Structure 1
Amino acid sequence: MDKVRVRFAPSPTGSLHIGGVRTALYNYLLARKHGGKMLLRIEDTDQTRFVPGAEAYILDALEWMGIEIDEGIVKGGKDLGPHAPYRQSERKPIYREYAERLVKEGKAYYAFDTAEELESMRKELEAAQVATAQYNAVTRMKMKNSLTLSPEETARRLAAGDAHVIRIKLNPRDEVRLNDMVRGWVSWHATELDDKVLLKSDGMPTYHLASVVDDHLMEISHVIRGEEWLPSAPIHVLLYRYLGWEATMPRFAHISLVLNPDGNGKLSKRDAGIGDFPRIPLSWTDPVTGQKAIGFREEGYLPDAMANFLAFLGWNPGTEQELFSIDELIQAFSLERMNKAGARFDIQKARWYNQQYIRMMADEKLGGLVIQDAKNRAAGLDEALVPKFVRLFKERVTFVHEIVSESTGLLIAPESYETEVASKKWTSEAVRGIEAFKVALAGASPEVNAEEAKNLLHDVLESLGIKMGKVMQSLRLAITGKGAGPDLMLIIEVLGRDETVKRLDAAIERLPVID
């Protein structure tokens, strides 16, 4: 493959949707696989929708996900690379130059129509039962633009500073064909399209002009974006044609939508009715409304697990393998294996990935995350015990913070006991074995370890002729208040001799024998 240059081009209008993170991830994987470059461009031409803090949020989200930027907007707010600036609001003169060029070449025109005149046209078309109200080859000849006004009148209006836009001039005989890397061949006839605005009355470009000009000048080789942008593709293809850039037009890949868990509709950032789970990478507080939304990071998801999960939302590696490191994703990724159908956002699968990544993580690294999480929550966890807590709970949790909560909970003596277990297992035989174990344990070292506790219990029960199965669940109940959980002998090691004996005494005193 020739030189690969891809871009992620979000708008700073608030928090970043998790579907946008997936788009960034696919761009990143393609760039890394082919030794290419990943660009970050900020599409902020609509200043009315600009939200303070949104750009910094985008940078933080990409950094958390491990998506490295080679060129474009980077941390610290500076541009990195030879094609700066990378904020479209700072490239305003560039767009006007190309828009004016199109006008001079007869491929675009000035339009002076007011909002009221455009609304009147729309109502007229609706009354005539025209399917779609479009500003096209037919309707433009009834409007106020440089095609219907004389050159002198057009020049006068421009000189007077009359509000105007620049629209692309479509040829009704044109047909547009695009070989999309996901959709295959897609075609449109110009009669289905309208003369889109390229340059707005405030001098800012629309998405159509800005993205095409920037992608060309920044030498973008592949445009990977959501399926919702497919209707814009014919205008973009025509702009490449009109500007004489067809030979260097990037390959387009319109990826599938991320759907709600039930498969009905696109996943929304705000629809709480579809399930209580995050839809954004990092927590966000709207600076205007104060509304808060929790992110995947704050919920406890690991970035590598999220990358693995998101990669599979629309892509298929062609193997049975589900767990991939980021390097393995890079090697396996290809646009040819993208799915056309929308991908359901299965939050249970996301949780499964997180669980698997915790299990695969080295104990030392996981311990570091546990310590940091405990500090963040002011949990007051004894760092010396963390390696033991990791051994206890690593195979049983979905999130790191569950290790913290389970560990702190374990250190608190039970106030109550599971009724169902107590009513079936707290027998006189079990109590006899527990009492004997308590006495033996009281004579052991204060720092008794799991192996010593296990041998001690085995020897005591063997001497009494009591089977281990008759005692184990009751012993767990006495120590933890629960009938199930992680390695009981390791729990005894964590609690130590004195605390364990104290808990056994309390259970023997509180619980009534059932026989």
Structure 2
Amino acid sequence: MSTTKTRVRFAPSPTGLLHVGNARTALYNWLYARHTGGDFILRIEDTDLERSEERHEAQLMQDLQWMGLAWDEGPELSGAGGGPHGPYRQSERLEIYREHTARLLAEGKAYRCFCTPEELEAERKLAAAEHRPQIYSRRCLAIPPAESEARAASGEHFAVRLQIPDRPLRFHDLVRGDVEFAADSVSDPVLVRSASGASAGIPVYNYVVTIDDALMEITHVIRGDDHISNTPKQVAIYEAFGWKVPEFAHLSTILGADRERLSKRHGATSIASFREMGILPEALVNYLALLGWGAEGGLRETFTPGELINEFKLERVTASPAVFDFEKLNWLNRHYLKLAEPARITDLAWPYFTAAGLLPSVQSVEITEWFTKVLALFLPAVDRLDQLPGRTHFLFQINPDAAVSNPENAELLATENAQRVLAELAVRAREFEGDLTAELFKTWMNEIKAETGVKGKDLFHPVRIALTGSHSGPEFEKLIPLIEEGSTLALPNHLPSVRERIQEFTS
């Protein structure tokens, strides 16, 4: 490697959705590149031809872009560009791998293995029975080169193995310190699979990732700690080619609340799911950054992307497992929802209401202005944008029968006080004509209080149930104008006015 500039990469496999663990890995790579003035490379590891799909590749790129993690080199998408070290899809680099395999064979650093799967399985069983390490016996290493070439030329199936040196394999980990593996714990790893079966002749992960990292001049490999066991094999490949070994930083595992590895059973774990739920990207990025890292002092919890870039150091990354706390993410999302521009939240929230049949697909000026007021009132009461339709549903549609039958409401509505209050309210709703304002409604409530002698929750709860279906909710002075204005708009379903709600409830 000739460069001294920091170069890091995120190299996902397009076999499924981008999940929390990989997203944090991408973020830490991006932050380190930006903090050090280096390059962030996106590489697609799609040599698993049976499981890799273009739709997954497109989705993970969209997720990275949504998070704000722009790459400096990588596959072309919406002008993201390529770069001088391409191709950036491993499926387009097979000839590069073949050339390097030929070099290792010619230099005697790799050899062909003609062992059948049955023979290898027999070796493993014998080693297990004798309580020996289950590593390859190297029986094919003794085959003379001329014989090996002749057998290959005749069409006999073979894999290609790397000859591991008879000494410990060492590397430095920026998170965990110096790490050493004994040579006999690694065995001679397969570099290219046997030329038979579905994966015929396909180079293996540890081989291609090392070649790619070297040729793309990666200086720091930042990835999950599930790759630690792969690292000695990769170090051996670096050394076989005479390449400089990069710095490694293996990130801790992310756990669920039960201290088990985070998975779908703990809830949403894909970036696409969080996006669909209405988690803002700045909230998710902020939260993922805190899963295994903390700024100097360790007291701050909210960071803009710029502040994260300034603060991020690999020395601050911990080796201890991080626990994914959904409540903490919700707290951060509420924080950023409050800071966001109202117009942005209106645009982001609108599709949720369209999907629920509450708003038209096309925004009009009048409805948008009203909807922005609705959001201003209800946004502080939600964790995520997808909760808004449920929280505000009573504005758009109300079911008096359901409100009455609700056990929490039924007992209250059955009282004499509640019936007197609602009777007085019904009289005023029937007799009134004109625009009902919050001030006038307040006058009504004061009059009912004076006439019935009912006050406090016995006065307000029955009225709130009549208007919203629930005995709790926003203050009347804020709610009444929204209901009245909404009743005049061309919504998919007519939004009942205050008087309509009272008349329907008390009829």
| TM-score tier (shorter) | 0.7 to 0.9
2:47 corresponds to 1:45: yes
Within 5 Å, which residues of 2 pair with 1:17-416?
Answer: 17-75=19-77, 80-130=82-132, 132-135=133-136, 139-140=137-138, 143=139, 145=140, 147-172=141-166, 174-201=167-194, 202-246=200-244, 249-264=245-260, 266-269=261-264, 274-275=265-266, 277-282=267-272, 295-317=273-295, 318-380=297-359, 382-415=367-400, 416=403
Post-superposition offset of 1:374: 2.0
Post-superposition Cα deviations, 1:66-100, rounded to whole Å, max 9, x if no partner, equal: 22122111326986111111111211222222233
Within 5 Å, which residues of 2 pair with 1:468-507?
Answer: 471-496=459-484, 499-507=497-505
Post-superposition Cα deviations, 1:86-143, rounded to whole Å, max 9, x if no partner, equal: 111211222222233233333222222222222222222233232x3101xxx21xx2
Query: Which residue in the other structure is 1:285 paired with?
Result: none
Please say which of residues 185-194 and 222-231 is displaced more in the overlay: 185-194
Separation in structure 1 between the aligned mates of residue 155 and residue 323 of structure 2, nearest angstrom: 50
Post-superposition offset of 1:18: 2.5
Maintained 8 Å contact 1:177/1:187: yes
Maintained 8 Å contact 1:12/1:44: yes
Maintained 8 Å contact 1:441/1:453: no
Separation in structure 2 between the aligned mates of residue 134 and residue 79 of structure 1, nearest angstrom: 43
Q: Secondary structure at the match of 1:113?
A: coil
Separation in structure 2 between the aligned mates of residue 445 and residue 154 of structure 1, nearest angstrom: 99
Maintained 8 Å contact 1:388/1:490: no
Separation in structure 1 between the aligned mates of residue 389 and residue 157 of structure 2, nearest angstrom: 61
Separation in structure 2 between the aligned mates of residue 334 and residue 482 of structure 1, nearest angstrom: 50
Maintained 8 Å contact 1:309/1:353: yes
Post-superposition offset of 1:243: 1.8
Separation in structure 2 between the aligned mates of residue 53 and residue 483 of structure 1, nearest angstrom: 47
Count of aligned pairs: 479
Separation in structure 1 between the aligned mates of residue 316 and residue 178 of structure 2, nearest angstrom: 16
Post-superposition Cα deviations, 1:248-294, rounded to whole Å, max 9, x if no partner, equal: x3211100112233112x2235xxxx34x222222xxxxxxxxxxxx
Separation in structure 1 between the aligned mates of residue 312 and residue 80 of structure 2, nearest angstrom: 30
Identity within the alignment, % = 37
Please say which of residues 441-450 and 358-367 is displaced more in the overlay: 441-450
Separation in structure 1 between the aligned mates of residue 357 and residue 421 of structure 2, nearest angstrom: 39
Question: What amino acid maps onto 2:382 in structure 1?
Answer: V
Separation in structure 2 between the aligned mates of residue 133 and residue 176 of structure 1, nearest angstrom: 18
Cα 1:122–1:420, aligned 2, differ >3 Å: closer, same or farther? Answer: closer
Post-superposition offset of 1:28: 1.4
Separation in structure 2 between the aligned mates of residue 268 and residue 279 of structure 1, nearest angstrom: 7
Post-superposition Cα deviations, 1:419-475, rounded to whole Å, max 9, x if no partner, equal: 54564587666766666677778898855454x357535764786687566533333
Question: What amino acid maps onto 1:200 in structure 2?
Answer: R
Post-superposition offset of 1:298: 2.3
Post-superposition offset of 1:169: 1.0
Separation in structure 2 between the aligned mates of residue 235 and residue 431 of structure 1, nearest angstrom: 79
Superposition RMSD in Å: 3.0
Maintained 8 Å contact 2:13/2:45: yes
TM-score (norm 1): 0.83
Question: What amino acid maps onto 1:28 in structure 2?
Answer: W
Maintained 8 Å contact 2:173/2:247: yes
Maintained 8 Å contact 1:188/1:234: yes
Separation in structure 2 between the aligned mates of residue 446 and residue 263 of structure 1, nearest angstrom: 61
Post-superposition offset of 1:397: 1.1
Cα 1:425–1:155, aligned 2, differ >3 Å: closer, same or farther? Answer: closer
Post-superposition offset of 1:371: 1.9
Post-superposition offset of 1:180: 0.6
Maintained 8 Å contact 2:135/2:184: no
Separation in structure 1 between the aligned mates of residue 504 and residue 221 of structure 2, nearest angstrom: 67
Post-superposition offset of 1:310: 1.9
Unaligned runs of 5+ in 1: 283-294, 511-515
